[in-house]
Amino acid sequence: MTRFLFSKFAVLCIALTLYLPTMAQFSGAKLNVVGLTCSACSYATERSIRQLKFVQDVKMDLNSNIAEITFKPGEPVSIDQLVLKVYDAGFSVGKVTATYHFTNEVLTGKSWSAGSDTFMILGTDAVELKGDKQLVFVADKYMKKSEYKPYKAYINTETSQSKPNPSGRLYFVVM
């Protein structure tokens, strides 16, 4: 009976490891929201972002339209969901920067894993995965089209060749 319960617990732990999105390594993020000028638009965007359960606080600069977001400690964070909330509000994203706290991550080639997600570093040869680092995300909907263009071919190749966790996401970042 004890063995049975232990094996069930082990399966549960493995399942949780596989399905949990990125856990708690992110303390906050900055989003450049583009395509708007008025405070009513900023307000709608902030309300949209605040719906995410991992978001603790949002401070929106109404003149630059940069949203400074603090995440709840211990909550799994999805950068994709964060960006999607800006699009849901009717606007676009010009830049995504997040603060990542490295603990025991191991770099395999140019990438590391956190929860079910994989992060691949672009354009840096030597990186020390230690302490707090600023990650700038590189993706089609995360930045201006002209800025994404130089990365596009490389990202498409890497994405087609990689075999990330099916429940996870392969993010490309610049450090």
Partner 1 sequence: MKNHFLVFFLFSSFLHSGIRAQELFPNNDPASNVGKNVLAVRASSEFFEDAGQTRSFQAYKFMFGLSSKWMLTETFSFSNHHSPRLPDGFIQHDPLGNPYTDGVKRGSPYPYLFESLDVNIKYRFLSHDSEHKHFRMAAYLDLAGGNEAHYEAEPELIGDNGGAGAGLIATLLLHKFAASINTGGIVPSDYTDAFSGVVISYGKAAYLNLSLGYLVYPGTYRSYNQTNINLYAEFQCKAYDGMVISENGKEVMIQNVPALESGSYVEFRPSVQFIIRSNTRIDLCVATHIYNRSWAHNDPAFFFTLQQSIFFKSKS
Tell whether residue 167 is a contact of partner 1 (CB under 8 A). Answer: no
Quote the longest CA-to-CA distance of the chain.
64
Tell whether residue 139 is a contact of partner 1 (CB under 8 A). Answer: no
Task: Say if CB 119 and CB 112 are below 8 A apart.
Answer: yes
Structure-block tokens of residue 70 = 């603090």
Tell whether residue 22 is a contact of partner 1 (CB under 8 A). Answer: no
Site string for partner 1, 37-56 (x = CB under 8 A): xxxx-xxxx-xx--xxx---
- For the CB of residue 77, give the shortest distance to partner 1 in the complex, in Å: 12
Positive or negative CA dihedral for 98, 168, 143, 42?
A: negative
Give me the residue label for tokens 């995300």.
Answer: 137
| Contact positions with partner 1 (CB under 8 A) in 90-119 | 90-92, 94
Applying CB under 8 A, the residues found at the interface with partner 1 are: 32, 34-40, 42-45, 47-48, 51-53, 62-63, 65, 81, 85, 87-92, 94, 144
